[in-house]
Structure 1
Amino acid sequence: MNSPEIASLSWGHMKVKGCSSPYKDCKVWPGGSRAWDWRETGTDHRPGVQPADLEEILKKGVETLVIGRGMSEALQVPPATLDYVKGKGVDVRVLQTEQAVKEYNILAGQGAKVGGVFHSTC
């Protein structure tokens, strides 16, 4: 299974290839995607992305995880979250969301087992 391409990104709107509904924030992995609802884990800009936000994707067998921190990089990624991902043997890349989407799409296009979480606003 390949990781789906992110077809478009604009403020508050993301479209994943093969998915009929747009997302505000999303999670993607080999073979799928879904909305990233921060309320599920109590995530907020600070302290930021929690290990619980990433568990679902890490269970999909990804080798690389890309995290998009938002258009203005307001979403934090605590060191403990990075340590959690690295402890699972997964390479993690944290970038501004437009750059994160570019990086993710390059890796997905190369057939890498890549997953990601992307925040499309601040």
Structure 2
Amino acid sequence: MASPEIVSISWGQIKVQGSMKTYKDCKVWPGGSQAWDWRETGTEHSPGVQPADVEDVVKQGVQTLVIGRGMSEALKVPASTMEYLLKQGIDVRVLQTEQAVKEYNSLAAQGIRVGGVFHSTC
């Protein structure tokens, strides 16, 4: 199953191929996408993306995970999350969200099993 293209990204809005919803923050993986609700894991801009935020994407068998830190890169990615992903053998790319979407779409177009978590504000 292919990773869906992110069709558009703008402040507070992400549209993913195959979904009728417009997400504020989202997770994508080969064959699907869903809203990313930070409250589920108690995530805040600092310390940032928790291992629990990416576990369900990792479980989809991704080779690469792209993390979008927000438009102004306010969302942090702590060492604990990077260590968790590296221990899983996942190639990780951490970028400003618009750049992260470009990277994600490029990898998806190459047929790589790529997933992502994207923050569309801050």
Measured against the shorter chain, the TM-score band is over 0.9
Q: CA deviation at 1:80?
A: 1.1
C-alpha separation in 1, matches of 2:91 and 2:119 = 19
Note the 1:102-117 alignment, pairs <5 A.
Answer: 102-117=102-117
3-state SS of 1:73 partner: coil
Corresponding residue pairs, total:
122
Task: Give unpaired runs (5+ residues) of structure 1.
Answer: none
Q: CA deviation at 1:16?
A: 0.1
Note the 1:24-103 alignment, pairs <5 A.
Answer: 24-103=24-103
Q: Which runs of 4+ in 1 moved over 4 A?
A: none
Backbone CA RMSD of aligned residues:
0.3
C-alpha separation in 2, matches of 1:18 and 1:93 = 24
C-alpha separation in 1, matches of 2:118 and 2:6 = 10
3-state SS of 1:27 partner: strand
Name the TM-score, length of structure 1 as normaliser. 0.99
Q: CA deviation at 1:79?
A: 0.9
Report the AA paired with residue 67 of structure 1.
I
3-state SS of 2:22 partner: coil
Report the AA paired with residue 13 of structure 1.
Q
C-alpha separation in 2, matches of 1:21 and 1:66 = 21
Q: Deviations over 1:23-63 (max 9, x none)?
A: 00000000000000000000000000000000000000000
Instruction: Report what 2:22 is aligned to.
Output: 22
Instruction: Report what 1:2 is aligned to.
Output: 2
Name the TM-score, length of structure 2 as normaliser. 0.99
Q: Deviations over 1:66-96 (max 9, x none)?
A: 0000000000000111010000000000000
